[in-house]
Amino acid sequence: MKREAASAFEGVCSIDPTARSKIWPEHHDHSQFATPADHFVERDRVQFAGTHLIIDLWGAKRLDDLQLMERVLRECVIKCGATLLHLHLHHFTPNGGISGVTVLAESHISVHTWPERGFAAFDIFMCGNTRPEEAIPILKRAFSPENMNVTEKLRGLQGNDPCDGKRSDSPSQGGGVGGMRKL
């Protein structure tokens, strides 16, 4: 970056824009050395990019406990067989809600909590050889929800899959663990 362009950032940001390689990841073309891995999933002869779980907890407890949230997210990553790249949590005041994300080599887990309502929204998307469903009992044990709704969407499907890649594990919606239901 030319010095003239860099001077536009002075006083706005403490990061030296001429030192980009120190703060941003570098991307290299390794195609000449090896064939890139394909992290699509194949299950029951269906190929897709990954499993996306949308999990709502109602009547949940300890949704304002930042240390617990970090431990729970780390446990989910390990149990699901994923690779943690970065974890960031933000604690809001005065209500104590938490928003955060774990950035994974296989995608992400995000969370937003409303402790004043006993509600938490988790979003878990993983590709490759992972088991995102392993996070469900961890969340249930940690936050003791009165009700838990789980919706699964298979991402990256091509064409028309008879199941449409959707599952509902909500007893109130007539689904069951492993049951396919079009929402």
8 phi/psi in degrees, rounded to 5: -65, -20
Q: Is 30 helix (H, G, I), strand (E, B) or coil?
A: coil
Instruction: Establish whether 127 is a catalytic residue.
Output: yes
* Nearest CA-CA partner of 133 in 172, 158, 181, 167: 167
Of 99, 108, 112, 170, the active-site residue reads 112
Of 127, 144, 168, 172, the active-site residue reads 127
Instruction: Establish whether 112 is a catalytic residue.
Output: yes
Rounded to an integer, what distance in angstroms lies between the CA atom of residue 170 and that of residue 173? 5
13 phi/psi in degrees, rounded to 5: -140, 140
Rounded to an integer, what distance in angstroms lies between the CA atom of residue 177 and that of residue 56? 15
Distances in Å between the Cα of 15 and the Cα atoms of 19, 26, 162 are: 8, 17, 51
Of 52, 76, 80, 107, the active-site residue reads 107
Q: Is 24 helix (H, G, I), strand (E, B) or coil?
A: coil
Helix (H) or strand (E) holding 78: helix 66-80
| Residue type at position 148 | M
Q: Is 52 helix (H, G, I), strand (E, B) or coil?
A: strand
Residues identified as active-site: 107, 112, 127
